[in-house]
């Protein structure tokens, strides 16, 4: 690094700024940090750092859907024990199917929302 008196007047102030490291062992990371510092933006995330994100999303969505199905099943069993008739006899077969489908969809949505909140906290 040249001394401040060896630099032209318009860039002389750069000699007093803090340095950003540039090492051989982490050259790619360091160059991204330098570019981000110079441009004033955040360094972009790499795809390989997000490894397993799709698997986690699918697992949480399936878990949420399964939990919602269990909730609907327990509600249907309680309905059957109290009224001594199946849920489809009370609300009809199409609405029972719609209840199961909407329960699974909302459970999957809740699972994905939980996964997103968990990922944001990391």
Q: Which of 71, 82, 76 is nearest to 104 (CA)?
A: 71
Cβ(60)–Cβ(116) below 8 Å: no
- Token look-up 């969809």 returns 105
In this structure, the number of other CB atoms found within 10 A of the CB of residue 51 comes to 9
- The reply to whether the predicted model has a pTM over 0.85 is no
DSSP code of residue 32: H
- Per residue in 54-84, pLDDT tens? 888 899 999 999 999 999 999 999 999 999 9
Domain ranges of the chain: 4-39, 51-121
Band the pLDDT of 25: cuts 50, 70, 90: confident
Q: Which of 72, 60, 39, 71 is nearest to 110 (CA)?
A: 60
């Amino acid at each position: 690094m040249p001394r401040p008196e060896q630099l032209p007047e318009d860039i002389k102030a750069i000699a007093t700024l803090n340095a950003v490291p540039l090492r051989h062992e982490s050259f790619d990371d360091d160059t991204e940090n330098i570019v981000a510092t110079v441009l004033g933006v955040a360094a972009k995330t790499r795809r390989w750092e997000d490894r397993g994100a799709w698997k986690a999303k699918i697992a949480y969505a399936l878990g949420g859907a399964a939990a919602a199905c269990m909730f609907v099943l327990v509600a249907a069993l309680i309905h059957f024990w109290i009224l001594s008739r199946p849920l489809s006899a009370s609300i009809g077969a199409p609405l029972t199917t719609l209840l199961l489908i909407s329960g699974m969809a909302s459970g999957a949505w809740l699972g994905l929302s939980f996964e997103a909140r968990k990922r944001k906290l990391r």
